[in-house]
Amino acid sequence: MSRTYGCDARAWCTLIRKVVMMGVLGFVYLYLSDLLMACTTLSLYDDDDDDDDDDDHHDHDDHDDDHDDGDDDDDDDDHDDEEEEEEDLNFWHKSLNYGEESK
């Protein structure tokens, strides 16, 4: 003689399957949102100007080389820009990972 319980095993399996699927979908959502956030943050610092293809003028850096007066101040400016970009990236890294705000 088999016993019958108030709820059969099929209902429990269905419930467990739904809970597991909700958990998997939650992890996928978190992963994709983190990936989107990382891509968005990196695109803020994308220095490649693809918009320059529209104009037929030559590059401005080449123009500066044509009028070289022997002064290499341009190299210092590039170095300063790299330091500022690195500081900005460090700020975003800290604020995204630790929830810190700028002071």
Which tokens hold the place of 80?
């300063």
Q: What is the pLDDT along the chain (103 residues), one digit of tens a residue?
A: 456 666 788 888 999 999 999 999 999 999 999 888 888 877 766 665 555 555 555 555 555 555 555 555 555 555 677 777 777 777 766 666 655 444 4
Which tokens hold the place of 24?
């998997």
Q: What is the pLDDT of residue 27?
A: 94
Domain boundaries, the chain: 7-96
Which tokens hold the place of 65?
């080389």
Helix axes 73-98, 9-44, angle to 10 degrees: 160
Q: What is the pLDDT of residue 86?
A: 77
Neighbours of 94 (CB within 10 A): 13
Q: What is the pLDDT of residue 30?
A: 93
